[in-house]
Amino acid sequence: MTGPEVVTQRKAAVSVRGLTKTFGEGEYAVTALDAVEVDIRENEFFTLLGPSGCGKTTLLRLIAGFELPTHGVIALEGRDISALPPHRRPINTVFQSYALFPHMTVAENIGFGLRMLGKPAAEIRQTTERMLALVQLEAMAGRRTDQLSGGQQQRVALARALAPAPKVLLLDEPLAALDLKLRKNMQLELKSLQAETGITFVFVTHDQEEALTMSDRIAVMKSGRILQIGSPRDIYDRPTHRFVADFIGDINILDGTIESLDNGIASVRLKDGTAVLAQPGTATAARPGAASIAIRPENVRLAQAGETPTVSGTVENVVYFGAATNLHIRLATGEQMVIRNPGAVEEGRYRPGATIGAVLPPELIRVLE
C-alpha cells in the first residue's frame, strides 16, 4: 500500500468504524461523513487535513460527542463511546474560537475541568499552577480572559483542555486566528507539548504545511471521506489520489493510459506516445486504462549531455524566488511541467523558447487514483 510500516504497532486510542453523519432530512440531507474508518494510535499527533466542508470538523465533533453518529461506532481504547454525552468522555477540545469563559479568570478557566471532576481544591490549584507554567502564563492567573492577546487566549484554551489530563486532545484549527509568526511558534510549541505530555492529539487543519510540520500521521479528507492516511512523507512522496497530490505541495500531473503492469510497476503511455514507468499507490490506481501520473517539481531533473530524456519540451518561464528557481516548460503532449532547481542555474542560462529534455526517475513517479 503506502510503503512499509515503520512504526511498531501501537494500541489504537480512537477507533472509528463505518462512521456516517448526515445533517437534515429527505431531499435536503447532506452527508458530512461517509463510512469513515480510521485508527488513531496512542500518543500520536494525528492530523485531519482537508479543504473546508470536507468533514474534518464534523469528525472531530463526533469524537468529542457534540454530534451523534447517524451510523457507525467510535471507540476509545476499545470501549464504545458513541452514545456517551461529551461530559462523560475523557476527551477535551481546544476550540477554534477558544471558547474561554468570559466570566472567569484565567486560573478559573484552567481549573474548570478538574473542578467538574470533583478533584480536591489543593490538587486543582497545583495542576492549574503547573499548567500556567507549561504555557508560560503564570503572571496572568488572575486576569480576565478578555484582557489577554489572541496568542495568550490560545494558550489558556490549551492549558484548560490539558489540565484534566484527557486521553485524547482534540484541536479544531486552533492556530487559524493567529498571525503567521505566532503561528509558526505555536506549531513548534504544540508539537513539543504533545511529546512532553504523551497525550494523543487529533488536530484539524486546512493548512497542508502545518500538517506536514507537526504530524506523526495525516489523514487527507475530501467530501466526507478519508482518501489517504500516512506519515507526512507518505502523503508528500507517495500520494495515492489526484486530490491528495494536488492539495499538498506543488506537483506535475500528466494524463496517460496504463498499458501493462509488471511486478507492481505500471507502464504508462503519455498523450504524445512516450512510455514511462510509474508506481501505482493503490490497487485501484493500478487498473489498466486511463490514469494520471504525478511527480514533484524537485524530483524532475534535466537531461545531461548524451542522456536520453524521458520527456522534452519548450521553456515558457523561468521563475526565480531566492532559495529556488522554477522552470516552467510546455511538453510535447501540450501539458505544462514545472522543474524546481534544474541543476546549477546561472542567470540567463534557460531562456523562454529553448528546447530542453527532462528525466523523470521512475521510482519517483506515482500513478494516482
Partner 1 sequence: MADPATAVASPRSAPRRRRMVRDLKAMPGFTAMAWITIVALYLPIMVLVAFSFNENRSVVLWTGFSLDWYAKALENDGIRNAAWVSVKVALFATVISTIVATMAALATTRTRKFTGQGLVYGIINQPLMIPEIVTAIATLSLFALVKKLTGLNGIGYLMMAHAAFCIPFAYMPIRARLETMTLTLEQAAADLYAPPFKVFTLVTLPLLGPGIVSGAMLAFVVSLDDVIITLLIAGPGETTLPIYILGAIRRGITPEINAVSTILVAVSVLLVMLLFFVQRRMQR
Applying the rule CB under 8 A, the residues between 331 and 350 that interact with partner 1 are none
Minimum Å distance from CB 92 to partner 1? Answer: 6
If you ran DSSP here, which 8-state letter would residue 138 be given?
G
Task: Assess contact for 167 and 76: CB atoms under 8 A.
Answer: yes
E strand or H helix that includes residue 358: strand 355-359
Among 1, 30, 116, 319, binds partner 1 (CB under 8 A): 116
Cβ density class 166-194: b for 16+ within 10 Å, e for less:
bebbbbbbbbeebeeebbeebbebbbebb
Distance of CA 309 to the CA centre of its chain: 34
**Residues contacting partner 1: total by CB under 8 A:** 25
Of residues 82 through 101, those in contact with partner 1 by CB under 8 A are: 85-88, 91-93, 95, 97, 99-101
CB closer to partner 1, 172 vs 216: 172
- Closest by CA to 55, choosing from 80, 83, 22, is 22
What number of residues does the chain have?
369
Contact map string, positions 49 to 68, toward partner 1, x by CB under 8 A: ---------------xxx--
Burial class of 283 by CB neighbour count within 10 A (0 to 12, 13 to 18, 19+): exposed
Which listed residue (35, 117, 176, 182) binds partner 1 by CB under 8 A?
117
Site string for partner 1, 6-45 (x = CB under 8 A): ----------------------------------------
Question: Counting contacts by CB under 8 A, is residue 201 touching partner 1?
Answer: no
Between 93 and 325, CB nearer to partner 1? 93
Coil, strand or helix at 12: strand
* Interface residue with partner 1, options 55, 69, 164, 224 (CB under 8 A): 164
Query: Where does this chain bind partner 1 (CB under 8 A)?
Result: 64-66, 85-88, 91-93, 95, 97, 99-103, 112-113, 116-117, 146, 160-161, 164
